[in-house]
């Protein structure tokens, strides 16, 4: 216990009280989204397994949209801006240039979220014509109320301004410290935000130029393949936008908590540069089964995707080596015996390690998804949610929760309400996700579709190679329930921490890397260069596919009626999808 407390050093709150208030506000926004998202997650998990049906199946898509948007847009990104504000201010060791500006972008993000959430929840109220049951992958022909697109646009503008805030701090610092290298956390924040600027080009065009005017009735029709492609232009890099806060924590906070030092600062920088360069030109790997995109472009996207494994493998090595360093400094010995010397009672440590372990498992299912031919086996099955609940749903979500146990005292000068509850919480998450994700993966292999309220059909049974579908359903439901309980424990623990006494001198300085930035070439810090190359790579990857889509369908597309989000047309699209899936399977089996 003592390792967390009374170091005598000032906390972030002591040094930067105004900024700490913004960080706390952003994190609370994130936790509220997480709690709401978990409620919807539980409803879905129980509904689709037919354990308990609280809602009408016709409302399933409202729930699913709320779950997806709250989790992967609100929860993750609010946490990101809070964490990045902390990391920027901490690592440059200077307050923001204008705290009013900082509150402004936070306010925009809140306003945008409220608009989008009102539009989504309107789906439960048949008396209004407001609804947005378009799922978090909101491309055409599914159409939402303009409030939804407007809210998204305002939210994204808020994140752009947040990025500008970090750049502003960096430039002000650089003017005073012209010869110094960018501190590591600052570097990670800046490269991630540059990646975000590249990535959001796609979504900004899709929303502002097409989806919003279309939903306002200015256009009768738009080109669905174009909005899909623009969506996935953003839809892949956004996964790294979720992941980079977790990486930042693994690289810069986890080693300290483990009692060690980061193995290599330059390696960390290389990883973030690789993500800036490679995360956007791969989006087409989400469109392996889309007609209208040539196989060649898909193959290029697949190749780029395989290159993207590199930075994650580098991360696995660097982070595990840093933890091993900590264990050996704590007296650990042996080839693997050092694992016992680690601070497993600390929920921040254990949570982040379990998150990393699940990420490793997610690496396997990700490789299956990424392969163009084997992807056909699992495309649009529940395998896919099984995969990303390991990645964003655990590697990211559990890391953010675990790190909060460490960060929150730095922002409040108060101890955590209960460390044992924290420890139980991260373990329950791990077990719950183990069950839910395993059931999802296996069901996916049987061809059970995702995004389906009642995945049971008359006159057709899914054939289970092992276990039975009802056993797997039960596993999924139990896992989902444990995850819900874990989320509630987390949020309650943080809320109750407000009632613990104020302390002083509980600051936790972060340890210095073993191999510092002085050992690395200066060119690594040339952000303009990397940003320029990233833009060129995006143009190379997307110019031809986009040109051919527009050439064939026109900017406003071959007519497709907007799909009103009711159940019938959705059911009608699922059957051909299954048929296609079967055909695809047939074509790869010799």
> Is there a catalytic annotation at residue 269?
no
Give me the residue whose beta carbon is nearest to ligand HEM.
41
Binding part of the chain for another protein, among 97-105, 134-142, 151-159, 251-259 by CB under 8 A, reads 251-259
In the complex with Cu ion, the residue whose CB is nearer, 94 or 389, is 389
CA distances from 120 to 137, 226, 502 (A): 13, 24, 40
* 298: Cβ contacts below 8 Å, ≥ 6 apart: 284, 285, 287, 288, 372
Among residues 187, 241, 484, 542, the one that binds ligand HEM under rule CB under 6 A: 484
Residue 342 or 538: the one with the smaller Cβ distance to Cu ion is 538
Q: What 8-state DSSP symbol labels residue 71? A: I
Q: Does 377 bind another protein (CB under 8 A)?
A: yes
Contact 224, 139 (CB under 8 A): yes
- Taking the least distance from each CB to another protein, the nearer of 420 and 509 is 509
Euclidean distance between CA atoms 191 and 248, whole angstroms: 11
* Active-site residue identified among 240, 288, 490, 542: 240
Binding mask 129-148 for ligand HEM (x = CB under 6 A): ------xx------------
Output 218 or 336, the one with its CB closest to another protein: 336
Going by C-alpha positions, the residue among 467, 410, 402 that lies closest to residue 441 is: 467
Whole-number Å distance between alpha carbons of 64 and 432: 20
Q: Are 135 and 65 in contact (CB under 8 A)?
A: yes
Q: Residue 124 binds which entry of another protein, Cu ion, ligand HEM, none, with Cβ cut-offs from 5 to 8 Å by kind?
A: none
* Binding flag, residue 452, ligand HEM (CB under 6 A): yes
Near ligand HEM by CB under 6 A: residue from 228, 236, 285, 450 = 450
> Terminal CA-to-CA distance of the chain, rounded, Å?
60
Distance CA 31, CA 83 (A): 13
For 140, 253, 411, 422, 568, the CA distances from 419, given in Å and listed in that order, are 46, 18, 17, 5, 49
- Please identify which residue in 316, 474, 560, 563 interacts with another protein, judged by CB under 8 A: 316
Least distance from Cu ion to the Cβ atom of residue 141, Å:
22
Q: Does 113 bind ligand HEM (CB under 6 A)?
A: no
| Coil vs helix vs strand at 9 | strand
How far CA 164 is from CA of 24, 78, 196, 378, in Å, comes to 20, 16, 12, 40
Among residues 225, 219, 156, which one has the least CA distance to residue 193?
A: 156
d(Cα 80, Cα 73) in Å, to the nearest integer? Answer: 10
Residue choice 509, 532, 558, 564 for contact with another protein (CB under 8 A): 509
Look up 307 and say whether it is catalytic. Answer: no
Annotation marks residue 389 as catalytic: yes
User: Does 415 interact with ligand HEM (rule: CB under 6 A)?
Assistant: no
Of 208, 340, 292, 291, residue with least CA distance to 552: 292
Other Cβ atoms closer than 10 A to 491: 18
Residue in 487, 508, 511, 520 binding ligand HEM, rule: CB under 6 A? 487
Output the smallest distance, CB 148 to ligand HEM, in A. 14
Q: Which residue among 439, 483, 491, 527 contacts ligand HEM (CB under 6 A)?
A: 483
* Distances from the Cα of 112 to the Cα of 74, 151, 162, 232, 239, angstroms: 10, 4, 14, 21, 20
- 320 or 485: CB nearest another protein: 320
CA distance 576 to 176: 62
Counting contacts by CB under 8 A, is residue 586 touching another protein? Answer: yes
CA distance linking residue 144 with residue 278, whole number of Å: 31
- Rounded CA separation 302/531 (Å): 22
Residue 387 annotated in active site: yes
Using Cβ positions, the residue closest to Cu ion within the complex turns out to be 236
451 is catalytic: yes
Q: Which is nearer to another protein, 364 or 457 (CB)?
A: 364
Residue/partner pairs of 16-21 with CB below 8 Å, 24 or more apart:
16/89, 16/90, 16/95, 18/95, 18/96, 18/99, 19/85, 19/86, 19/89, 19/95, 19/96, 19/99, 19/102, 20/86, 20/411, 20/412
Stretch touching ligand HEM by CB under 6 A, among 72-80, 104-112, 169-177, 535-543: 72-80
Q: Which does 236 bind (CB under 5 to 8 A by kind): ligand HEM, another protein, Cu ion, none?
A: Cu ion
Q: Which of residues 330-349 bind another protein (CB under 8 A)?
A: 330-331, 334-336, 338-339, 343
Peptide bond into 141 cis (omega under 30): yes
Scan residues 346-375 and list those touching another protein (CB under 8 A).
360, 363-364, 367-368, 374
Q: Where in 19-38 is the site for ligand HEM (CB under 6 A)?
A: 38
Candidate ranges 40-48, 202-210, 379-387, 505-513; the one touching another protein (CB under 8 A): 505-513
- The reply to whether 64 sits near ligand HEM by the rule CB under 6 A is yes
Number of residues that bind another protein (CB under 8 A): 47
- Asked if 3 touches another protein (CB under 8 A), the answer is yes
Q: What are phi and psi of 381, to 5 degrees?
A: -95, 175
Least distance to another protein, CB of residue 345, Å: 12
41 binds, among Cu ion, another protein, ligand HEM, none (CB under 5 to 8 A by kind): ligand HEM
Residue tagged active-site, from 47, 387, 414, 415: 387
Under 8 Å between Cβ of 268 and 318: yes
- Chain residues binding another protein by CB under 8 A are 2-3, 255-256, 258-261, 263, 316-317, 320-321, 324-331, 334-336, 338-339, 343, 360, 363-364, 367-368, 374, 377, 445, 465, 509, 511-512, 514-515, 582-583, 585-587, 589
Residues annotated catalytic, as ranges: 236, 240, 387-389, 450-451
- Chain residues binding ligand HEM by CB under 6 A are 38, 41-42, 44-45, 48, 64, 67-68, 71-72, 75-76, 135-136, 382, 385, 389, 392-393, 397, 450-452, 480, 483-484, 487
């Amino acid at each position: 216990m003592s390792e967390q407390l009374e170091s005598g050093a000032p906390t972030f709150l002591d040094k930067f009280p105004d900024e700490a208030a913004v960080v706390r506000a952003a994190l609370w926004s994130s936790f509220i989204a997480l709690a709401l998202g978990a409620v919807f997650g539980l409803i879905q998990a129980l509904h689709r397994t037919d354990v308990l049906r609280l809602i009408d199946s016709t409302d399933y898509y409202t729930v699913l949209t709320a779950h997806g948007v709250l989790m992967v847009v609100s929860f993750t990104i609010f946490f990101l801006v809070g964490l990045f504000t902390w990391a920027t201010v901490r690592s440059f060791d200077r307050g923001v240039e204008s705290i009013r500006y900082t509150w402004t972008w936070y306010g925009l993000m809140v306003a945008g979220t409220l608009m989008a959430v009102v539009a989504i929840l309107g789906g439960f109220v048949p008396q209004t014509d407001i609804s947005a049951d378009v799922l978090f992958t909101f491309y055409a022909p599914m159409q939402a109320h303009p409030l939804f697109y407007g809210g998204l646009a305002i939210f994204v503008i808020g994140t752009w301004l947040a990025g500008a805030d970090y750049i502003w701090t960096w430039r002000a610092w650089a003017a005073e410290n012209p010869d110094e290298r960018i501190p590591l956390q600052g570097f990670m924040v800046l490269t991630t935000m540059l990646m975000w600027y590249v990535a959001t080009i796609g979504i900004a065009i899709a929303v502002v130029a097409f989806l919003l005017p279309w939903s306002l009735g200015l256009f009768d029709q738009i080109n669905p393949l174009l909005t899909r492609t623009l969506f996935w232009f953003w839809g892949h890099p956004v996964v790294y936008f979720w992941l980079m806060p977790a990486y930042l924590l693994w690289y810069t906070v986890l080693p300290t908590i483990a009692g060690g030092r980061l193995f290599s600062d330059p390696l960390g920088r290389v990883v973030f540069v690789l993500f800036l360069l490679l995360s956007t030109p791969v989006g087409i790997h989400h469109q392996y089964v889309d007609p209208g995109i040539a196989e060649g472009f898909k193959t290029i996207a697949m190749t780029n995707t395989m290159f993207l494994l590199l930075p994650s493998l580098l991360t696995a090595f660097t982070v595990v080596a840093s933890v091993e360093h900590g264990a050996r400094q704590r007296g650990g010995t042996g080839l693997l015996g050092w694992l016992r010397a680690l601070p497993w009672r600390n929920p921040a440590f254990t949570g982040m390690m379990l998150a990393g372990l699940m990420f490793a498992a997610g690496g396997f299912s990700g490789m299956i998804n990424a392969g163009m031919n084997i992807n056909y086996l699992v495309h649009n099955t529940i395998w896919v949610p099984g995969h990303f609940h390991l990645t964003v749903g655990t590697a990211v979500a559990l890391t953010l929760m675990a790190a909060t146990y460490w960060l929150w005292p730095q922002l409040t000068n108060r101890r955590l309400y209960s460390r044992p509850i924290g420890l139980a919480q991260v373990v329950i998450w791990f077990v719950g996700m183990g069950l839910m994700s395993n059931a999802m993966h296996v069901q996916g292999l049987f061809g059970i579709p995702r995004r389906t309220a009642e995945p049971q059909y008359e006159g057709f049974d899914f054939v289970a190679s092992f276990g039975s579908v009802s056993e797997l359903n039960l596993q999924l439901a139990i896992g989902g329930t444990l995850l819900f309980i874990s989320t509630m424990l987390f949020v309650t623990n943080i809320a109750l921490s407000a009632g613990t006494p104020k302390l002083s001198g509980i600051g936790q300085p972060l340890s210095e890397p073993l191999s510092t930035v002085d050992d690395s070439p200066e060119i690594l810090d040339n952000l303009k260069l990397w940003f320029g190359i990233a833009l060129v790579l995006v143009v190379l990857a997307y110019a031809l596919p986009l040109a051919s889509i527009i050439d064939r369908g026109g900017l406003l597309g071959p007519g497709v009626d907007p799909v009103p989000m009711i159940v019938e047309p959705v059911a009608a699209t699922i059957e051909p999808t299954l048929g296609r899936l079967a055909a695809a399977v047939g074509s790869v089996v010799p």
